[in-house]
Structure 1
Amino acid sequence: MSTTALLLVLAAAVCHASWNVVAHGVSRIGTPFLWWGAVASAVLWLPVVPFTGGWGGSLVGLAVGATASGVLHVVYMTVLQRGYAVGSLSTVYATARGTGPAVSAALAVALLGERLSPLAVVGIAVVVVGVVATGLVDRAGAAARPAATAPGEPRRRGLDPSIAWGLLTGLAIASYTIWDAHAIRTWQLSPVSFMVGVTLVEVVFYSATLGRRRRELLAVVRAHGAKVLAFGVLSPLSYILVLVAIQSAPVALVAPARETSVVMVAVFGALVLREGSLRGRLVTSGVVLGGIALLAL
């Protein structure tokens, strides 16, 4: 991967980690916050379109690509928010970001015809192992919460909801990553206009699912206006940078390289939210960085 593409992806990781921290803080609000986030994203980025390639090569391609991507992003955001509401930030985030690049790389080879060197395959594997370890390091030796059982019945272990929702989020990440790469490359679309199209589709979907919660919108923006603005800037920016990178670099390499964001979120979770061992997370985060170094060779 070129130095330019790597720098774009690293910058995207900083933005991505930042908005995930913001989203975790308001995860229990759900759809009203997501609606405001999508509206803020569209309003803030629409004026940038004329200065970043306009609407791109094909309006039909933009409409088809953005609509399909918008649906996939709605699924992703809904699953992610649910995971944050019932699980720990670091475990949900790390499990999702470990599953996503592994599946994305496999699909990029199978569906997009990308080819990977043996060193790149090793780098992807190291990143995925490090990311998953970051999410699971605090579970070593800890028992999962047992399900209710009758007296005398053996206690059964259940799957940590943080991991379950993280895996589902990872599959959603892989789905929109592969589709978006296909759309951007096939129709020669501008990343900014594509992202604006996606956010407009999200606004429509969230509006349709608000129901009675519409009455909460004013209270949400009054209480969390700054977070809405941060989300509106950082969430699209993080993905716009990724879309620019995949115009010149293989998706199979870009997707794992994004996972430097896991290092930032894991350390934040340990330092600020007091989630688990800082030392263990630093060790596993170092593994992630080692894998990304291999991808950069």
Structure 2
Amino acid sequence: MASTSIGLILLSCLFHALWNILTQTSKNSNYLSGLKGVVIMVGAILFLATSGSTTVPDEMWGWIAASGVLHGVYILSLSKAYQTQDISYVYPIARSAPVFVPVFAWFLLEERLSFSAMTAIVLILLAIYILHFDGHLIRGFRNLWDAILHKDMRWAFITLGLVVSYSLVDKRGMEIFIAARPDHAMQNGFVFFFLEALIGFTLCNLYLFSVHSPREIISVWKAEWGRGLVAALATVGSYGLICVVLQFEDVSQVVAVRQVSVLMVVLWGVLKMKESFGPQRVLAGILVVFGVGLMGWKP
């Protein structure tokens, strides 16, 4: 992977960790996500009006629509997970996509797994297990299974599935975009992001206002408008840069390196928020980062 790509991904990691922390520590994660979406949609309209969305190849619109729907459900699912569990518990599970993306990329995008990638899969699976380990082997597996079935923890695993899905969809979309417009990589990435964001956050807000009290939503928006603005800017930086990199690098490598944000968020949850099971969760975070490092390594 090129050093420029790694630099953009690491910058994306900082942005991604920031908006996740802002979301989890909000008075209502779902409502903040809706506010963030409104800010992003306004920015999208302004950006697309000046960049020209008419330059998008016709065959891309289906991928953009699929990405928008997946991202809309992802935002709601992640927000729901943050309302029910600690960030240092949810985030490593939700961001364990490097375990699964290479497998699907093998079949759908003809990417190939190296020995180091397979080793990384084992490490990340171990990290997920450690999050549920309480000193007893059998009980640990039972805890993991109970978490998968639990109506609250289920949201973290649903989020994981959505991350895998939109990563594959976005990779294919960006391949088409760069083939059609090879000299506009940066613009391509942000045009794609803003178009799918318009769809995703429209769906997100329609859902929020249909099932929750508009008065409650607006009250949170008024109290946390500054938080929503920062979260929106961080989200644009986070995924806009990823869309740029996806034009040049394998999705397996991009998703893997991006998970450095896991350690950032776990450390925040344990050190700043004083969440429980600190050593256990830090170890899980370190294993995830080490695993994704192997995933991104090409001998």
Normalising by the residue count of structure 1, what TM-score does the alignment of the two structures yield?
Answer: 0.83
- Aligned partner of 2:240 in structure 1 is 240
Contact 2:9/2:254 (<8 A) preserved: yes
CA distances 1:240-267 after superposition (whole Å, capped 9, x unpaired): 1111111111111111211111101111
Q: Distance in 2 between matches of 1:56 and 1:102?
A: 36
Given the superposition, is the C-alpha separation of residues 171 and 280 from structure 1 closer, same or farther in structure 2, using an over 3 Å criterion?
same
Given the superposition, is the C-alpha separation of residues 249 and 219 from structure 1 closer, same or farther in structure 2, using an over 3 Å criterion?
same
Deviation at 1:45, TM superposition (A): 4.7
- Aligned partner of 1:288 in structure 2 is 288
- Aligned partner of 2:192 in structure 1 is 194
Once superposed, which parts of structure 1, at least 4 consecutive aligned residues long, lie more than 6 Å away? none
Deviation at 1:204, TM superposition (A): 2.6
- Aligned partner of 1:148 in structure 2 is none
- Aligned partner of 2:249 in structure 1 is 249
- Aligned partner of 1:40 in structure 2 is 39
CA distances 1:76-108 after superposition (whole Å, capped 9, x unpaired): 11111111111221111111112x222211111
Q: Distance in 2 between matches of 1:26 and 1:46?
A: 26
Deviation at 1:174, TM superposition (A): 0.5
Tell me the amino acid that sits aligned with residue 270 of structure 2: A
- Aligned partner of 1:227 in structure 2 is 227
Percent identity among equivalent residues?
24
Which of 91, 94, 102 is the aligned partner of 2:92? 94
Question: Which stretch has the larger CA shift, 214-223 or 172-181?
Answer: 214-223
Matched, 1:184 2:174: yes
Q: Secondary structure of 2:95's match?
A: helix
Matched, 1:273 2:270: no
Q: Secondary structure of 1:202's match?
A: helix
Contact 1:86/1:161 (<8 A) preserved: no
Given the superposition, is the C-alpha separation of residues 284 and 208 from structure 1 closer, same or farther in structure 2, using an over 3 Å criterion?
closer
Q: Distance in 1 between matches of 2:242 and 2:121?
A: 17
- Aligned partner of 2:185 in structure 1 is none
Q: Distance in 1 between matches of 2:126 and 2:257?
A: 12
CA distances 1:102-160 after superposition (whole Å, capped 9, x unpaired): 2211111110111233233334543x2465256446x445989xxxxxxxxxxxx9435
- Aligned partner of 1:154 in structure 2 is none
- Aligned partner of 2:118 in structure 1 is 121
Which of 120, 128, 152 is the aligned partner of 1:132? 128
Matched, 1:109 2:106: yes
- Aligned partner of 1:67 in structure 2 is 65
Q: Secondary structure of 2:288's match?
A: helix
Q: Distance in 2 between matches of 1:5 and 1:255?
A: 12
Tell me the amino acid that sits aligned with residue 90 of structure 1: S
Given the superposition, is the C-alpha separation of residues 56 and 105 from structure 1 closer, same or farther in structure 2, using an over 3 Å criterion?
farther
Tell me the amino acid that sits aligned with residue 189 of structure 2: P
- Aligned partner of 1:147 in structure 2 is none
- Aligned partner of 1:152 in structure 2 is none
Structure 1 alignment gaps of length 5 or more: 145-156
Tell me the amino acid that sits aligned with residue 35 of structure 1: G
Tell me the amino acid that sits aligned with residue 6 of structure 1: I
Tell me the amino acid that sits aligned with residue 132 of structure 1: I
Tell me the amino acid that sits aligned with residue 36 of structure 2: G
Which of 160, 170, 175 is the aligned partner of 2:160? 170
Tell me the amino acid that sits aligned with residue 20 of structure 1: N
Deviation at 1:50, TM superposition (A): 7.4
Q: Pairwise CA RMSD of aligned residues?
A: 2.9
